[in-house]
């Protein structure tokens, strides 16, 4: 029986099995209880004196509570819930069960939990106080959450130790972390932290690495950089040995680009980031600034109308009377380009930032996946900036505050999630570049939600302007073409409306954007809502409509994603790899590698599918286009029955939908079953 007991009437039982470390870090434990309360009741048995009890399980909790009372945090008569046992015959067993059955929390889970509070805006110091740990401990766990996805997943699965994970965290460059992790998997003593740290700091990179392309082979060699590689391999397969030299060359070249941009644009700072993306945590340390666009003057409006009319007239002439290749047609095309330049100049003049404001702003330069310098399109400041030129739109007295077929061998659940996420990225990249299709999708999903308002329809879209979550925490895909394209699309969006200080002003500013700018926002926001799906035989990742959408968009997956040993072949059974070889080169190619070791086979398959390997031209062409069925947009949507939303209780799993469909809905009869009331009866009852 659970009852409330005063702490001062409790004493520790001699039967408690925890004899050592009883007082270890009691202050931290007490701080946790003070912040969150007593999350687990004590287990006690009554003493002869009425109202007094002895604690059989929960000795450290008792000591922490006594510490809080002694220090004045809790009152002297503070009461806590306790499970009162009828007798103490099994008290030692209860104490042992509670202490013996405990497992220390996985560091990955700790990292996830702490990172959750940091993302919500808490500081490391605040989180440390709430959980009774040091700030340093919180910072270390949060750093683990920023590891490359493959390393973080290995830590969560218990495949690597905490020490190994910390060794990879020596650098914040997730590209290098992932690269060394793949190298160390098969290396002798590759699980030793010291070896990992040396590899992280002294590993090699491929010639097609973004940093290598940015620095250039000639500059690297001229600076004394060493290269080793097969004479018969492609240049991109060379291994550049002196990684520290490469890092120094890349950093210096990027610093020069940053200094030049700072001087040319009169910025307060331009921060060089020697990576293929700007880390979110780095952006979060600054304040994002959105310059507002001033309205066009009357003279500018007249000029824009004149240019638009002339543009339309020239286009009509080119489509009707002017022949391609003639002098008149060439002159018309030249004039169209001049009109576009003048319109761009007019638009740019509306977005000019006051020099006093610009002197407080900065941005980032980083290395693109193509090895070229990229300038972050958004502006940032170290402190909040108020634009004195921003119009005030609130009127007097107004409140200005912001109120199918079998798919072959079954894939592992983790691989299904990863492949679904990567294929989702490809789908998002295409949808975000096709505003017309995205608009059609938006209208369709809203109409469908209205028609099926009382039903659950699994449409794999959130459509609440909030991006869908990846199924694997901290999974990153910045290096892929799809993710880089999505980031480019994000930076190209017009954010001039976001700088106003009221929702009304921002809304009016957004409406003032031209159709293309608003359409780009529609396409991007809608695309972000798409959830990860996969062309698999069954399960929660299956959604034939997404496959149809991929076909409508004309997606060629092979141009965006290629299977490698890391992302596919090294994660499946040997038969799956042999089947792939047979698809590519027939039984002969399969037979050639049937006795190969799994690791060698994975490397061979990856090499073939990425256009390498000494094979016939026909086989190389097939290999370059081969994809696992799961990554294709080939599935055909099947009819499904939609259970009413009222059939879902809190905590139901979407994977149980098929069972609910069969048990609760009579699709043919279209009537309630099992004695349920009809819609009218239900509404009346409500």
- For residues 551 and 625, what is the distance between their CA atoms, to the nearest angstrom? 16
pLDDT digits (tens, 9 = 90+) for 521-533: 888 888 888 899 9
pLDDT digits (tens, 9 = 90+) for 429-459: 898 888 877 877 775 664 455 434 445 667 7
Query: How much is the pLDDT for 442?
Result: 72
Query: How much is the pLDDT for 88?
Result: 52
Average pLDDT over residues 328-337: 91
**Residue 286: both structure tokens together:** 């600054």
pLDDT digits (tens, 9 = 90+) for 136-166: 788 888 888 888 888 888 888 888 888 888 8
- The C-alpha angle 115, 120, 121, rounded to 5 degrees, equals 100
- For residues 74 and 204, what is the distance between their CA atoms, to the nearest angstrom? 58
Backbone angles phi, psi at 292, to 5 degrees: -85, 150
Cβ–Cβ under 8 Å, residues 32 and 61: no
Model confidence band, residue 195 (pLDDT cutoffs 50, 70, 90): confident
**Residue 290: both structure tokens together:** 């959105």
Cβ–Cβ under 8 Å, residues 531 and 468: yes
Model confidence band, residue 680 (pLDDT cutoffs 50, 70, 90): very low
- For residues 543 and 520, what is the distance between their CA atoms, to the nearest angstrom? 26
The arrangement of secondary structure in 2-100, i.e. its CATH architecture, is: Alpha-Beta Complex (3.90)
Q: What is the mean pLDDT of the chain?
A: 77
Average pLDDT over residues 553-575: 91
**Residue 133: both structure tokens together:** 């740990």
Query: How much is the pLDDT for 480?
Result: 81
Local structure of residue 655 (DSSP, 8 states)? G
**Residue 320: both structure tokens together:** 């009707």
Query: How much is the pLDDT for 14?
Result: 67
- For residues 365 and 253, what is the distance between their CA atoms, to the nearest angstrom? 11
Query: How much is the pLDDT for 629?
Result: 92
**Residue 668: both structure tokens together:** 């043919």
Whether the pLDDT of residue 268 is over 60: the answer is yes
**Residue 487: both structure tokens together:** 């980031």
Query: How much is the pLDDT for 667?
Result: 41
Strand-pairing partners, residue 272, are 365
Whether the pLDDT of residue 170 is over 80: the answer is no
Q: Is 385 helix (H, G, I), strand (E, B) or coil?
A: coil
Model confidence band, residue 334 (pLDDT cutoffs 50, 70, 90): very high
Local structure of residue 410 (DSSP, 8 states)? P
Backbone angles phi, psi at 140, to 5 degrees: -65, -40
- Could you tell me the CA-to-CA distances from 119 to 99, 115, 122, 131 in Å, in that order? 33, 6, 7, 16
Strand-pairing partners, residue 11, are 54
pTM recorded for the entire structure: 0.54
Strand-pairing partners, residue 4, are 81
Query: How much is the pLDDT for 32?
Result: 73
pLDDT digits (tens, 9 = 90+) for 397-415: 444 444 444 555 688 888 8
Model confidence band, residue 659 (pLDDT cutoffs 50, 70, 90): very low
Whether the pLDDT of residue 182 is over 60: the answer is yes
- Strand 269-273 with 361-367, pairing: parallel
SS (H, E, C) 125-156: HHHHHHHCCCHHHHHHHHHHHCCCHHHHHHHH
Query: How much is the pLDDT for 154?
Result: 87
- For residues 598 and 73, what is the distance between their CA atoms, to the nearest angstrom? 61
pLDDT digits (tens, 9 = 90+) for 484-514: 888 888 888 887 777 777 767 777 777 777 8
Model confidence band, residue 576 (pLDDT cutoffs 50, 70, 90): very high
Lowest mean pLDDT: which of 68-72, 211-215, 296-300, 499-503?
499-503
Whether the pLDDT of residue 3 is over 90: the answer is no
The sign of the dihedral angle between the CA atoms of 388, 392, 398, 402 is negative
Lowest mean pLDDT: which of 51-65, 367-381, 615-629?
51-65
Lowest mean pLDDT: which of 6-20, 226-240, 569-583?
226-240
Local structure of residue 271 (DSSP, 8 states)? E
Model confidence band, residue 626 (pLDDT cutoffs 50, 70, 90): very high
Q: Is the model more confident about 5 or about 311?
A: 311
Alpha-carbon radius of gyration of the chain: 32
Model confidence band, residue 471 (pLDDT cutoffs 50, 70, 90): confident
Cβ–Cβ under 8 Å, residues 643 and 664: yes
- For residues 108 and 147, what is the distance between their CA atoms, to the nearest angstrom? 10
**Residues across the chain:** 686
Query: How much is the pLDDT for 98?
Result: 52
- For residues 241 and 380, what is the distance between their CA atoms, to the nearest angstrom? 36
pLDDT digits (tens, 9 = 90+) for 230-264: 444 444 457 787 888 998 999 999 999 999 999 98
Q: Report which of 484, 478, 471 is spatially closest to residue 414, judged by C-alpha positions.
A: 471
Whether the pLDDT of residue 650 is over 70: the answer is no
Query: How much is the pLDDT for 87?
Result: 60
């Amino acid at each position: 029986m659970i009852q409330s007991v005063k702490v001062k009437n409790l004493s520790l039982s001699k039967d408690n099995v925890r004899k050592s470390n009883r007082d270890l870090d009691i202050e931290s434990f007490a701080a946790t209880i003070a912040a969150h309360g007593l999350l687990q009741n004590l287990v006690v048995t009554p003493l002869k004196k009425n109202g007094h009890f002895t604690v059989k399980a929960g000795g450290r909790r008792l000591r922490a509570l006594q510490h809080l009372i002694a220090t004045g945090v809790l009152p002297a008569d503070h009461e806590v819930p306790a499970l009162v046992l009828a007798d103490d015959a099994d008290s030692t067993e209860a104490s042992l069960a509670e202490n013996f059955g405990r497992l220390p929390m996985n560091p990955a889970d700790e990292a996830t939990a702490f990172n959750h509070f940091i993302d919500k805006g808490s500081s490391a110091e605040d989180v440390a106080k709430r959980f009774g740990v040091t700030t340093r401990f919180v910072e270390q766990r949060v750093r683990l959450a920023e590891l490359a996805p493959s390393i973080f997943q290995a830590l969560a699965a218990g495949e690597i130790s905490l020490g190994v994970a910390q060794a990879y965290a020596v650098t914040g460059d997730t590209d290098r972390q992932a690269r060394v992790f793949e190298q160390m998997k098969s290396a002798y003593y590759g699980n030793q932290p010291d070896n990992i740290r040396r590899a992280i700091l002294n590993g090699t990179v491929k010639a097609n690495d973004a940093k290598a392309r940015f620095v250039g082979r000639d500059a690297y060699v001229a600076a004394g950089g060493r290269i080793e590689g097969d004479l018969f391999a492609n240049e991109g397969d060379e291994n550049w040995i002196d990684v520290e030299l490469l890092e120094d060359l890349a950093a210096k070249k990027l610093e020069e680009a940053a200094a030049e941009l700072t001087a040319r644009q009169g910025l307060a700072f331009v921060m060089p980031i020697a990576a293929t993306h700007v880390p979110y945590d780095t952006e979060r340390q600054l304040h994002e600034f959105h310059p507002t666009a001033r309205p066009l003057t009357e003279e500018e409006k007249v000029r824009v109308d004149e240019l638009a009319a002339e543009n339309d007239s020239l286009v009509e002439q080119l489509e009707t009377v002017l022949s391609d290749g003639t002098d008149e047609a060439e002159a018309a095309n030249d004039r169209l380009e001049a009109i576009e330049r003048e319109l761009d100049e007019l638009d740019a003049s509306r977005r000019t930032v006051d020099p006093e404001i610009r002197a407080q702003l900065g941005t980032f330069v980083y290395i693109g996946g193509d090895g070229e310098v990229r300038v972050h399109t958004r502006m940032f400041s170290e402190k909040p900036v108020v634009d004195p030129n921003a119009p005030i739109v609130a009127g007097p007295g107004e409140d200005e505050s912001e109120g199918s077929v079998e798919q072959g061998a079954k894939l592992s659940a983790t691989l299904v999630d990863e492949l679904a996420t990567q294929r989702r990225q490809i789908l998002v990249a295409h949808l975000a570049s096709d505003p017309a299709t995205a608009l059609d999708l938006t209208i369709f999903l809203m109409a469908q939600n209205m028609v099926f308002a009382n039903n659950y329809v699994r449409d794999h879209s959130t459509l609440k302007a909030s991006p869908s979550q990846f199924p694997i925490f901290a999974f990153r895909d910045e290096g892929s073409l799809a993710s880089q394209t999505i980031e480019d699309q994000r930076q190209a969006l017009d954010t001039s409306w976001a700088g106003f200080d009221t929702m009304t002003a921002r809304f009016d500013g957004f409406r003032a954007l031209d159709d293309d700018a608003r359409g780009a926002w529609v396409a991007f926001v809608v695309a972000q809502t798409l959830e990860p799906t996969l062309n698999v035989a069954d399960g929660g990742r299956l959604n034939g409509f997404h496959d149809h959408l991929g076909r409508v968009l004309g997606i060629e997956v092979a141009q965006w994603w290629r299977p490698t040993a890391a992302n596919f072949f090294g994660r499946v059974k040997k038969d799956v790899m042999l089947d792939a070889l047979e698809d590519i080169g027939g039984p002969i190619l399969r037979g050639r590698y049937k006795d190969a070791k799994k690791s060698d086979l994975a490397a061979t398959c990856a090499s073939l599918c990425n256009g390498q390997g000494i094979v016939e031209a026909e086989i190389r062409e097939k290999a370059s286009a081969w994809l696992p069925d799961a990554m294709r947009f080939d599935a055909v949507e099947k009819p499904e029955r939609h259970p009413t939303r009222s059939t879902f209780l809190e905590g139901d799993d979407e994977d149980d939908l098929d069972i609910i469909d069969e048990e609760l809905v009579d699709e043919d009869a279209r009537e309630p079953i099992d004695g349920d009331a009809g819609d009218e009866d239900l509404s009346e009852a409500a």
